[in-house]
Amino acid sequence: MDRIPDPAVVVLGGRVAWTGRRSLLPPEWVGARTVDGRGCWATPGFVDPHTHLLFGGDRSGEFNRRLHGATYAEIAAEGGGILETVRATRTASVADLASAGEARLAELHLRGVVHVEAKTGYGLDLESESRLLEAYAFLRRAGWSLDVTLLPGHEVAPEFAGDAEANARAIAEDWLPELVRRHPGVAAFCDVFVEKGVFSVDQGRRIFQSGQALGLAPRVHADELGWTGGAELAAELGAASADHLMFCSEAGIASMAAAGVTPVLLPGTTLFLGMRDWAPARRMIEAGCAVALASDFNPGSCPCLDPLLVLRLGCLQLRMTFEEAFTAMTLHPARSLRRRDLGHLHPGARAAILLWDLADPLELVYWLGADFRPEFPLAEEP
């Protein structure tokens, strides 16, 4: 993370054309129209590389049960948890899903998030997953900067209860090809919840390989509630990311580093589930991984749209330095989404610039709980 004293950023046609010390500004730009940053810090906008943005209903009832002692796994085993949200999502209209999505994206944007990865996964059947893609396509047409990930393997669907194998086959052989055929160009990635009691590494591999044949790069829900070998699978497949990783093994870390897989860590989820198993961010960084942070925004394990909470937990619980955590909210998530024009302010970057009225950006973490909002000097539309 470079800090440039008394800087200037040249923007041309929505892109950064030059960044550096104002005293070195090339003469051709000297007469350009200027926007005064008034001594604020200019940073790239945040990129959130893991959200479950669209769903119906909420799970505040379940949350209260957890406060009274029930566990996330117990609630899921009784048919609550993800499946409760699936029921609410299946009965919501595309218009309702899209308008809830728009409100959530607006919340994120206010707090400086300029690009979001968003998953399906609360439909769990062909028609409902298709409706989620329709809502995402609508949000993109409305101008939101989104990457969409297909996640029909988010949980074993109620229609396949007790038969994950048949569900995995339906996803790999029928649903993914049909969803891509119906909604060309909407999804760029594919995800599977590889976890004990959900989909196995073998089932995950077959779903991901089907996705890869359709041009969808893998992002893996890996080693979230226990070790399953999800990180190793991500490395084997050359995945764009492996996400969660609270129970990632040393071999998994080494294989992600060697394969260039971006670990995406979601400390808000560890917090909200009341777990103490923080993902081993330091060991990943020491192994050479380009660690990213994300919100995991979803109604069950992290109903939180606050990027500053994620940044703060990155520093305070994952023990990242401020520079590591800030890079994990900008450059590294953009890398995991294969976007070279986000997460930095070098030439070629999208001019999604934030201004922070602070003496130092470190204060974003230091003033714990403060609800800092950035300004958008170029009033870039979302």
> Residue 48 or residue 296: which is nearer to ligand NIG going by CB?
296
Quick one: three-class SS letters along 165-229? HHHHHHHHHHHHHHHHHHCCCCEEEEEEEECCCCECHHHHHHHHHHHHHCCCEEEEEECCCCCCC
Contact track, ligand NIG, 183-222, x by CB under 6 A: ----------x---------------------------x-
> Residue 296 or residue 324: which is nearer to Fe ion going by CB?
296
Cα–Cα–Cα angle for 266, 268, 271, nearest 5°?
120
Residues 33 and 373 sit within 8 Å (Cβ to Cβ): no
Name which position in 147, 191, 223, 224 contacts ligand NIG (CB under 6 A): 224
Query: Which two structure tokens, joined as six digits, stand for 357?
Result: 């009225």
User: Considering the complex, what minimum distance in angstroms separates the CB of residue 81 from Fe ion?
Assistant: 13
Check binding of 269 to ligand NIG (CB under 6 A): yes
User: What is the chain's alpha carbon radius of gyration, rounded to the nearest angstrom?
Assistant: 21
Residues 230 and 221 sit within 8 Å (Cβ to Cβ): yes
- What does the longest C-alpha to C-alpha distance in the chain come to? 69
Check binding of 117 to ligand NIG (CB under 6 A): no
Question: CB under 6 A: which stretch of 80-88, 231-239, 325-333, 366-374 binds ligand NIG?
Answer: 80-88
Name which position in 128, 228, 301, 336 contacts ligand NIG (CB under 6 A): 301
Question: CB under 6 A: which stretch of 3-11, 199-207, 275-283, 293-301 binds ligand NIG?
Answer: 293-301
List binders of ligand NIG among 330-349 (CB under 6 A).
Answer: none
Write the CA distances from 171 to 63, 124, 133, integer angstroms. 30, 9, 15
Choose the one of ligand NIG, Fe ion, none that binds residue 66, judging by a C-beta under 5 to 8 angstroms depending on kind: none
Closest residue to ligand NIG, judged by C-beta, is 300
Residues 105 and 382 sit within 8 Å (Cβ to Cβ): yes
> Residue 146 or residue 351: which is nearer to ligand NIG going by CB?
146
Neighbours of 71 (CB within 10 A): 12
User: Considering the complex, what minimum distance in angstroms separates the CB of residue 224 from ligand NIG?
Assistant: 5
Query: Which two structure tokens, joined as six digits, stand for 132?
Result: 């989620």
Name which position in 204, 300, 343, 374 contacts ligand NIG (CB under 6 A): 300
Strand partners, 226: none
Choose the one of ligand NIG, Fe ion, none that binds residue 300, judging by a C-beta under 5 to 8 angstroms depending on kind: ligand NIG
> Residue 149 or residue 269: which is nearer to ligand NIG going by CB?
269
Choose the one of ligand NIG, Fe ion, none that binds residue 332, judging by a C-beta under 5 to 8 angstroms depending on kind: none
Closest residue to Fe ion, judged by C-beta, is 296
Query: Which two structure tokens, joined as six digits, stand for 207?
Result: 């779903």
Residues touching ligand NIG, count (CB under 6 A): 13
Choose the one of ligand NIG, Fe ion, none that binds residue 85, judging by a C-beta under 5 to 8 angstroms depending on kind: ligand NIG
Residues 190 and 207 sit within 8 Å (Cβ to Cβ): yes
Name which position in 117, 191, 296, 324 contacts Fe ion (CB under 5 A): 296
Residues 283 and 253 sit within 8 Å (Cβ to Cβ): yes
All residues at 6 or more sequence positions from 107 whose CB lies less than 8 Å from its CB, including other chains: 305
User: Considering the complex, what minimum distance in angstroms separates the CB of residue 300 from Fe ion?
Assistant: 9
Contact track, ligand NIG, 39-78, x by CB under 6 A: -------------x--------------------------
Name which position in 19, 85, 203, 330 contacts ligand NIG (CB under 6 A): 85
Helix ranges (DSSP H) in the chain:
60-67, 72-77, 82-90, 94-110, 126-141, 164-169, 176-182, 201-213, 230-237, 250-259, 267-272, 281-286, 307-316, 322-327, 331-336, 363-366
Applying CB under 6 A, the residues found at the interface with ligand NIG are 52, 81-82, 85, 193, 221, 224, 269, 296, 298-301
Applying CB under 5 A, the residues found at the interface with Fe ion are 296
